[in-house]
Amino acid sequence: MKTAFSTMVLLALATSVAFAADSKPLPKADAARGAQVAGQVCAACHNADGNSPTAANPKLAGQHPEYLAKQLADFKANKARKNAVMLGFAGALSADDMRNLAAHYAAQKPKEGAARNAQAAKLGEKIYRAGIAEKGVAACAGCHGPAGAGIPAQYPRISGQWAEYTKAQLVSFRSGERANDPAGMMRGVAARMSDAEMDAVADYIAGLKTAN
């Protein structure tokens, strides 16, 4: 198990380095135009400023623009990430719309969240920072950073995210329903986690705070 755990960590690092070397900056985006599209298309579920009021919908404020643009493109492609609602919205967006939206939401200030269960959050912190060596689960902090700030453009900012949404994504990765993670990293991690461990990590992440 220790060998598997070490392999997961090394894969995460190698993937991050390779992605950074190959990635290119997005073409210049128009955040003002993105704000208009957000108000017309996205606000009902995510709010115009990206601070979703509903736990089923992710907070987008402060998210890395490259990551947001990629998720929209993946929803539109309807292969590695499928969602009937998002397919309807993303399907109507052009590549420029996606970049503009991403730039707008990235510039918004995210509202802080909070953990709700101190005992669960304590277990979640342990998993987030150290992983679960005996199960081959790598530490979340290795890719998402100690404060959940993520790594542009590959790993998203997750600090303050709704616990319900984070749990839902972990379950989706575990089942393979969501498969747009770099090198299958999240699918490999989630496959080794129990529901209780997912709940604990999600609750801890909800309370993480990143300097804005």
Domain CATH code at residue 199: 1.10.760.10
Domain co-membership, 200 together with 121: yes
Please count the structural domains in the chain.
2
Same-domain pairing of 48 and 11: no
> Do 74 and 60 contact (CB within 8 A), yes or no?
no
Q: Is residue 26 part of a domain?
A: no
pTM surpassing 0.85?
Answer: yes
Query: What domain range includes position 9?
Result: 2-20+113-207
Is 25 a domain residue? no
> Which of residues 106, 122, 148 is at a domain's end?
106
DSSP string across 118-182: HHHHHHHHHHHHH-BGGGTBPPTHHHH-TTS--BTTTB---TT--HHHHHHHHHHHHHTS---SG
Same domain, 15 and 117: yes
Written as tens digits, the pLDDT of the chain (212 aa) is 544 444 444 444 444 444 443 445 657 999 999 999 999 999 999 999 999 999 999 999 999 999 999 999 999 999 999 999 999 999 999 999 999 999 999 999 999 999 999 999 999 999 999 999 999 999 999 999 999 999 998 899 999 999 999 999 999 999 999 999 999 999 999 999 999 999 999 999 999 998 76
